[in-house]
Amino acid sequence: MKLLFIGDVVGKTGRTAVRALLPKLSDRYKADCVVANGENIAGGFGLTEPLVQDLLSYGVHIITTGNHVWDKKDFMTSIGKESRVLRPLNYPPGVPGHGSIVFNAGGRKIAVVNVSGRVFMPQMDCPFRAIDAELERIRKETHIIFVDFHAEATSEKVAFGYYLDGRVSAVIGTHTHVQTADEKILPKGTAYITDAGMTGPSCSVIGIEVQQILQ
């Protein structure tokens, strides 16, 4: 099975890049499933229902998010209706939406799980405890498990990767919008990278206009 992951899609530039490049990439690599982090698709902050549908129409199967998932307040009522859009698993009980999905891709089931870190991030439930309970449930359906770990601190991400090594297929970090150079297969077989980077304007400060940030 081949899974294609797209790092944080930022604003119109990011959406345009996905629309232009994803069909060729999917065809070239024969991707069975395409996952994209889309928490910044609406002007760099949050999501809207129309833009989510646009991203899905470009060939994305599952959209993961992070701390910006609630930036557009109207989306709070939409996220519970669209199972293909995930929010971090470790939000407290009662929060709208889902933290994982089991998706039929290429005739096989694949699970995608979205988890948030806690270091330098909004307060959440413990990601380590939250993922344990979720894996116990998911493993009854599939052993192909992909995790988007949306976190700030590289040390927390590395620790999370080793914590899940051998228990999931891949742990891919998001959030910082700067790709790291530590992609590897961990000792027990799990694919890992601390951050996948972003899909957005290269002449920017993590997707935002340079002068705006300097000011």
Can you give the pLDDT at residue 74?
93
Q: What confidence tier does 25 reach under pLDDT thresholds 50, 70, 90? A: very high
3-state secondary structure of 164: helix
Q: What confidence tier does 206 reach under pLDDT thresholds 50, 70, 90? A: very high
The whole-angstrom separation of Cα 158 and Cα 151 is: 10
Please say if 177 is a catalytic residue: no
Nearest alpha carbon to residue 93 among 61, 130, 48 = 130
Instruction: Give residue-wise pLDDT tens across range 127-171.
Output: 999 999 999 999 999 999 999 999 999 999 999 999 999 999 999
Contact 178, 154 (CB under 8 A): no
Q: What confidence tier does 58 reach under pLDDT thresholds 50, 70, 90? A: very high
3-state secondary structure of 104: strand
The whole-angstrom separation of Cα 149 and Cα 56 is: 21
Can you give the pLDDT at residue 214?
96
Q: Output the CA torsion sign for 53, 59, 64, 65.
A: negative
Q: Which among 61, 68, 150, 175 is annotated as catalytic?
A: 68
Instruction: Give residue-wise pLDDT tens across range 79-105.
Output: 999 999 999 999 999 999 999 999 999
Q: How many CA atoms lie within 13 A of 161 on its CB side?
A: 26
Question: Which structure tokens are listed for 179?
Answer: 């790709």
Helix ranges (H only) for the chain are 11-29, 49-57, 127-138, 154-164, 210-214
DSSP string, 55-66: HHHTT--EEE--
- Measuring CA to CA, how many Å separate 182 from each of 5, 158, 167, 189? 16, 10, 20, 15
Instruction: Give residue-wise pLDDT tens across range 162-180.
Output: 999 999 999 999 999 999 9
The whole-angstrom separation of Cα 23 and Cα 121 is: 34
Mean pLDDT across 12-28? 97
pLDDT of 106 higher than 90: no
pTM of the model: 0.96
